[in-house]
C-alpha cells in the first residue's frame, strides 16, 4: 500500500509506452503481493518492530535521492506534520501487518490490505464531511461483512481472528493517512514526500526495534526476505508507482489494489504451500468486489 495518496498527485498522460502499462501494473501488483510473503517468512525470526525497522530504513534509503533533490520543498516547520502522518500511514500499519504475519497466512494480510480503499472513503465521510453515496455505502457494508467472514475462519485448525483484526486496523490507519495526506501534503513532490515519511517512520520505530531486537541468530533466508521487503517492495515499488501515476494518472494506477490480494494469496500458495480456504475465497471475493463497486461509485 502506498504512503502518499495518488489522488493528490497531478497526472501527465503521454500516449507513448501504452504497451508498458499492463506489464508494469501487473509487476507492481506482484511485488506488493510478495511483501506479505516476505513478512510471513521474516517476521517469525525478527519480530514485528525489528522487521519493520529494516523495511523502513531500506525503503527510505532508496528514495532519499528524491528527497535530496527536492529538499527546498520541506522546511523545518513541516517535519512535525510529516512525522505524525508517518506514524499513522507507515510505522503503525507496517508493524500491524508484520504482527499479523506471525500469526496467520500471508494471504490474510494481503486480503485485508484491500480494505484501505473502503476505509479511505469511510474516514472521509466520518471526519472530513465527504459524501459517500448509497452505492459506496453498500460497498462498505459488503467489505466489512467480508472481513467478518475472514476473521471467522481457521487455518490449520488455528483461529486467525486477531490477525484479521490487526490487518483491518492497519487498513483503517491507511484510510486515515490518505485523508491527512490529501489535506496537508498536496502539492509536495510525491516521491520526496514518501522518502520523508519513510525516514520519519524509521526513526519513530527505531526505539521499539532496538528494545525488541532478537537475541538469537537470524537465518539468512529471513535477512534476504527483510532486504527484499525494504528494497524491492518499499523503495523500488514506490518509484514504479509514481512513474505509473505520471504516465497513466492516479485513477488507473489505483487498479493495482485489485491485484495485490490475488498475488499475495498466489505467492503464499506457490512458495509457502499455504492453503486457500473457502472462507478466504469468499471473503476475498466480497472485499475485492466491494472495492470495485466503491471505485465505480467514486467515478
What is the residue extent of each domain of the chain? 6-10+23-298
Question: Does the structure show a pLDDT above 80 at 60?
Answer: yes
For residues 128-154, average pLDDT: 83
Q: For the chain, what percent of residues have pLDDT higher than 90?
A: 55
Question: Does the structure show a pLDDT above 60 at 156?
Answer: no
Question: Does the structure show a pLDDT above 50 at 160?
Answer: yes
Question: Does the structure show a pLDDT above 80 at 76?
Answer: yes
Least confident window among 11-20, 24-33, 175-184: 11-20
Least confident window among 31-40, 71-80, 222-231, 251-260: 251-260
Which of the 8 DSSP states describes residue 218? P
Give the pLDDT band (50/70/90) at residue 7.
very low
* Strands, E assignment, the chain: 154-155, 158-159
Question: Does the structure show a pLDDT above 60 at 15?
Answer: no
Q: How many other C-beta atoms can be found within 10 angstroms of the C-beta atom of residue 5?
A: 23
**In residues, how long is the chain?**
299
Residues ≥6 apart with Cβ < 8 Å to 2: 194, 238, 241
For residues 2-13, average pLDDT: 49
For residues 65-69, average pLDDT: 96
Measure the CA–CA gap between 103 and 220, rounded to whole angstroms.
21
- Name the pTM for this structure: 0.88
Question: Does the structure show a pLDDT above 90 at 215?
Answer: yes
Please check whether residue 130 is in contact with residue 278, taking contact to mean a CB–CB distance below 8 angstroms: no
Report angle CA 48, 197, 23 to the nearest 5 degrees.
85
For residues 19-31, average pLDDT: 87
For residues 157-166, average pLDDT: 84
Q: Which three cell numbers stand for residue 28?
A: 507492481
Measure the CA–CA gap between 99 and 93, rounded to whole angstroms.
10
Amino acid at each position: 500500500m502506498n504512503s502518499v495518496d495518488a489522488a493528490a498527485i497531478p497526472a501527465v498522460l503521454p500516449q507513448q509506452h501504452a504497451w508498458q502499462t499492463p506489464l508494469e501494473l501487473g509487476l507492481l501488483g506482484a511485488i506488493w503481493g510478495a511483501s506479505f510473503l516476505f513478512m510471513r517468512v521474516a517476521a517469525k525470526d525478527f519480530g514485528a518492530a525489528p522487521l519493520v525497522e529494516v523495511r523502513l530504513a531500506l525503503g527510505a534509503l532508496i528514495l532519499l535521492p528524491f528527497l535530496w533533490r527536492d529538499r527546498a520543498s520541506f522546511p523545518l516547520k513541516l517535519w512535525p506534520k510529516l512525522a505524525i502522518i508517518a506514524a499513522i500511514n507507515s510505522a503503525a500499519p507496517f508493524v500491524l501487518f508484520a504482527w499479523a504475519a506471525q500469526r496467520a497466512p500471508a494471504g490474510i494480510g494481503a486480503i485485508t490490505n484491500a480494505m484501505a480503499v473502503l476505509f479511505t472513503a469511510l474516514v472521509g465521510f466520518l471526519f472530513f464531511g465527504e459524501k459517500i453515496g448509497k452505492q459506496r455505502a453498500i460497498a462498505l457494508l459488503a467489505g466489512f461483512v467480508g472481513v467478518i467472514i475472514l476473521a471467522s475462519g481457521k487455518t490449520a485448525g488455528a483461529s486467525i481472528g486477531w490477525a484479521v483484526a490487526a490487518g483491518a486496523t492497519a487498513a483503517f490507519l491507511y484510510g486515515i493517512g490518505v485523508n491527512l495526506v490529501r489535506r496537508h501534503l498536496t502539492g509536495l513532490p510525491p516521491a520526496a514526500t514518501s522518502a520523508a515519511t519513510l525516514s520519519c517512520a524509521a526513526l519513530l520505530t527505531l526505539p521499539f526495534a532496538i528494545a525488541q531486537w532478537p537475541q538469537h541468530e537470524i537465518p539468512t533466508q529471513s535477512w534476504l526476505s527483510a532486504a527484499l521487503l525494504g528494497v524491492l517492495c518499499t523503495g523500488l515499488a514506490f518509484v514504479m508507482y509514481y512513474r505509473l501515476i505520471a504516465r497513466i494518472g492516479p485513477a488507473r494506477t489505483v487498479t493495482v489494489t485489485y491485484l495485490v490480494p490475488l498475488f499475495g494469496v498466489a505467492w503464499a500458495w506457490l512458495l509457502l504451500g499455504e492453503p486457500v480456504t473457502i472462507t478466504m475465497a469468499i471473503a476475498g471475493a466480497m472485499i475485492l468486489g466491494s472495492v470495485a463497486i466503491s471505485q465505480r461509485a467514486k467515478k
